[in-house]
Structure 1
């Protein structure tokens, strides 16, 4: 695989570690895809999908947000990582780096779960020519479609996350089977899911400028068997926040890809039917 490790500094003192996958020169489209991961999901998880896009002629950048995975290094004065920082500062720094290094390229974003939600916090998100969200959802607990899932969501955002925030100051990896999450990240996550303000600042004031300003192409994919993390209704509620573009909501159904399940995490696994990835590559390339 033709790839290179990269380090992207942020203005507030973090060093984001990533990897740039490059296509064969003969097949290069002069288009670059940035993959923004889900909460606590590290860059290596997206490598199969990234390698597929590379084979279709895209340059592809995968990276870890501050405070998780390989992006732990920072200057002594750097602020403690938060989930808002992931969108406002990390996604911004990555885009700035890409636009500087590849000024002639069309830039596309792929966001998994929180990686799509944080478009609302990303400054000048129209630097993306198009954005594909996969299982990206409005996580206010009342958006879950059934009484039982609403109760579980309320308990997670209003109970479990605040409990770990106040008791041990982080979310252990075993809780969700993902990366250990820093204190500021779980504080923000609990606030986003626990209040109708959803994406909001530390005072609880809603953040909407990124949602309202984005005018590029947008596609949000729900997964029909993703009942716990991003049910279709939550994806549709996120789509309503994008008021300046005609976004497309598409539902991925396992039976359409001869699969027994996809769920919240299956789309990016190497076991995913590549027909879905071909559809994504075709849409991004338009």
Structure 2
């Protein structure tokens, strides 16, 4: 693993990590992380993918994890600038690997942003993991019971008091820049999520995406429903797309949930399934 600081828009520095295979890479995989989740969490999965012959990149969005270089109340960021960070990592990965296919593995938020990428025409496939619309009515039942309090009271009040969202203090999501959490709030209160909240410019960028998308939806996801997953997938209106439902019993597990996919107990099941999907993207392109 090689850590690397990359330059992004607005003078932001993005901390990335590159996991190199033995020999020339057969493709590049960039991992887009979930909201408030540090790239450390994806390290075992990234290492495993590298062992399968891929050049793998992970990163922390500006203001998060190793990319947090200033007090969070001074970090000027929103979800568009986080997409710029994603793009910066993709550009660096492609520069390292050359003319090989580029795939994305997006966990939650990491599958919500690729329609906005400048590099979306270079993407050869997206595997979406536990991702969907964040619209509050599409949340899982246990989350829905408190989410309106979260969006209408906790987020605005805490963000006003601290100048950022102090998620670690209150055990919710994680610390987030002010611009990120307030834009995310606006998305989550709109039935069409980002394409509804931001209107035609964002909707049209998602409709311009043509890369194939497979969304892996967990039946025991405590945050996301199957409906929410379909709402997100349908934002990529002109892309080949499908949803695959996975139950814990399918992989001889008691639980997967929203975060369990990236635990190394799933190397021979969920991780191998992801590698097969990546290979399927390549075979489909070659056949076409």
TM-score, length basis structure 2 = 0.88
- Counterparts of 1:169 and 1:246 in 2: how far apart (Å)? 41
For residue 193 of structure 1, what is the aligned residue in structure 2? 188
Which of 230, 234, 244 lines up with 1:240 in the alignment? 234
In the alignment, structure 1 segments of 5+ residues that lack a partner are: none
For residue 4 of structure 1, what is the aligned residue in structure 2? 2
Which of 246, 250, 259 lines up with 2:244 in the alignment? 250
Q: Deviations over 1:162-204 (max 9, x none)?
A: 2222222222214346542121111111111012352169x85
Is structure 2 residue 160 aligned with structure 1 residue 166? Answer: yes
Is structure 2 residue 88 aligned with structure 1 residue 93? Answer: yes
- For the 8 Å contact 1:120–1:209, the answer to whether it is kept is no
Return closer, same or farther for 1:70/1:235 CA change in 2, 3 Å cut-off: same
- Counterparts of 2:152 and 2:42 in 1: how far apart (Å)? 30
Q: How many residues align?
A: 275
Which of 215, 221, 233 lines up with 2:210 in the alignment? 215
Q: C-alpha displacement at 1:123, in angstroms?
A: 2.5
TM-score, length basis structure 1 = 0.88
- For the 8 Å contact 1:138–1:234, the answer to whether it is kept is yes
Of stretches 57-66 and 136-145 in structure 1, the one that deviates more from structure 2 is: 136-145
Between Structure 1 and Structure 2, the one with more helix by share is 2
- Counterparts of 1:71 and 1:220 in 2: how far apart (Å)? 28
Is structure 2 residue 22 aligned with structure 1 residue 49? Answer: no
Q: C-alpha displacement at 1:79, in angstroms?
A: 6.7
For residue 65 of structure 2, what is the aligned residue in structure 1? 69
RMSD (CA atoms): 2.2
- Counterparts of 2:103 and 2:87 in 1: how far apart (Å)? 14
Which of 146, 149, 173 lines up with 1:152 in the alignment? 146
Q: C-alpha displacement at 1:145, in angstroms?
A: 6.1
Return closer, same or farther for 1:145/1:40 CA change in 2, 3 Å cut-off: closer
In the TM superposition, 1:55-134 aligns within 5 A as 55-73=51-69, 80-87=76-83, 89-134=84-129
In the alignment, structure 2 segments of 5+ residues that lack a partner are: 281-288
- For the 8 Å contact 2:29–2:104, the answer to whether it is kept is yes
